[in-house]
Amino acid sequence: MRVLVCVKRVPAPGAKINITEDGQSVDATNLGHTMSPHEECALELAVQLVETHGGESHVLTLGTSEADEQCRWAASIGINKATLVDVDSMDWDPQRTARALTDSIRSIEEAAGAFDVIIFGNESADTGGFQVGIRVSRALGRPMVNAIKGVEIAGDVLEARRETDNGFEVYKLPMPCAIGVKEGITWPRYPTMRGRLASKKLAVDSVSSDAAPGGQMKVRLNRPEEKVSETVVLGEGPEAAAKAVDLLKELGLWPEGASS
């Protein structure tokens, strides 16, 4: 089995994001980077599939040279090969990104054979566009289902489960296929010391791209105003009870007719 995982270098979740003065990009000064949580789970899924069915796993990312870090992280947890589409900016629109990834996948497959499964994160943690994986799978002519929380493989069919309010939807996809997975489909493993040492020796294939820009254009980045919440201490001990009752009534949470 051959499994490919597409990941993206993104600002660390939870970090304070500042915007440059021109409003066109994120100020990366002193900003840590990682990959999206969905993609961490996608990598773990790829490793598990190869452990179960045999074969080879591959990670692909588009980004600046710093994205080499994400390739080596993937290698440290068990991914076998890595390819970096080296570009001068992370500011690519989804259409251009999808075209570049599609070209790279075709090139890899021409040299080493088709991937049975291509795994994407459901969406990236920074732009949240929900479209790169779908664009790539459509360009490759392969079936894809997003928001997957469970996978099983039997023969040449992949069974994908999507969680709903009433249980699960089950899709059976003929391989080769693509899926977009959500955080929680697996628990990501952390690299061992042996894995970290091995990742330093990995030869990351670096390729370029001449993919044309798409029709989407960024106008400006706007950072939402920070919401500050204040905690008010109503009191301590029995004397705070009356204030608590008044607050519940104010919020409409005190049952009508109830004694205070």
Residues 113 and 241 placed together within one structural domain of the fold: no
The span from the CA of 222 to the CA of 225, in Å, is 9
Residues 170 and 102 placed together within one structural domain of the fold: yes
Residues 164 and 49 placed together within one structural domain of the fold: yes
CA 138 distance to own-chain centroid: 19
Residue 190 has pLDDT above 70, yes or no: yes
Percent of residues, the chain, with pLDDT higher than 90: 64
Do 143 and 178 touch, CB atoms closer than 8 A? yes
Q: Which residues, at least 6 apart from 121, have a Cβ–Cβ distance to it below 8 Å?
A: 6, 7, 8, 35, 36, 37, 38, 39, 41, 42, 133, 180, 181
Beta bridge partners of 6: 60, 120
pLDDT number for residue 109 = 98
Structural domain that includes position 165: 2-207
Residues 252 and 138 placed together within one structural domain of the fold: no
Query: What tens digit of pLDDT does each residue of 102-133 get?
Result: 999 999 999 999 999 999 999 988 888 889 99
Q: Model confidence at 244, in pLDDT bands (50, 70, 90)?
A: confident
Q: Which residues, at least 6 apart from 214, have a Cβ–Cβ distance to it below 8 Å?
A: 93, 94, 95, 96, 99
Residue 258 has pLDDT above 70, yes or no: no
Residues 29 and 108 placed together within one structural domain of the fold: yes
In a domain, 221, yes or no: no
The span from the CA of 256 to the CA of 258, in Å, is 6
Beta bridge partners of 37: none
Residues 150 and 28 placed together within one structural domain of the fold: yes
Looking at per-residue pLDDT, the higher value among 93 and 143 belongs to 143
In a domain, 216, yes or no: no
Residues 16 and 135 placed together within one structural domain of the fold: yes
Q: Which residues, at least 6 apart from 207, have a Cβ–Cβ distance to it below 8 Å?
A: 83, 84, 85, 86, 104, 107
In a domain, 193, yes or no: yes
CATH number at residue 32: 3.40.50.620
pLDDT number for residue 260 = 60
In a domain, 223, yes or no: no
Length of the chain: 260
Residue 17 has pLDDT above 80, yes or no: no
The pTM (predicted TM-score) of the whole model is 0.83
Residues 40 and 75 placed together within one structural domain of the fold: yes
In a domain, 258, yes or no: yes
pLDDT number for residue 127 = 80
Task: Say which range, 25-29, 35-39, 166-170, has the weakest mean pLDDT.
Answer: 25-29
Q: Model confidence at 250, in pLDDT bands (50, 70, 90)?
A: confident
Residue 246 has pLDDT above 90, yes or no: no
Tokens 């440059």 correspond to: 20
The pair of three-digit structure tokens given for residue 91, joined into one six-digit string = 């500011």
The span from the CA of 143 to the CA of 164, in Å, is 20
Residues 34 and 130 placed together within one structural domain of the fold: yes
Count of the separate structural domains present in the chain: 2
> Of 207, 222, 241, which marks where a domain is finished?
207
In a domain, 152, yes or no: yes
Element (H, E) at 35: strand 33-35
Residue 226 has pLDDT above 90, yes or no: no
The span from the CA of 100 to the CA of 106, in Å, is 10
Using DSSP, state whether 96 is helix, strand or coil. helix
* Of 124, 9, 120, 7, residue with least CA distance to 59: 7
In a domain, 72, yes or no: yes
Residue 30 has pLDDT above 80, yes or no: no
Please report how the helices 68-76 and 193-200 are oriented relative to each other, as an axis angle in degrees rounded to 10.
140
Residues 66 and 192 placed together within one structural domain of the fold: yes
Query: What tens digit of pLDDT does each residue of 81-96 get?
Result: 999 999 988 778 999 9
In a domain, 39, yes or no: yes
Residues 88 and 130 placed together within one structural domain of the fold: yes
Residues 143 and 58 placed together within one structural domain of the fold: yes
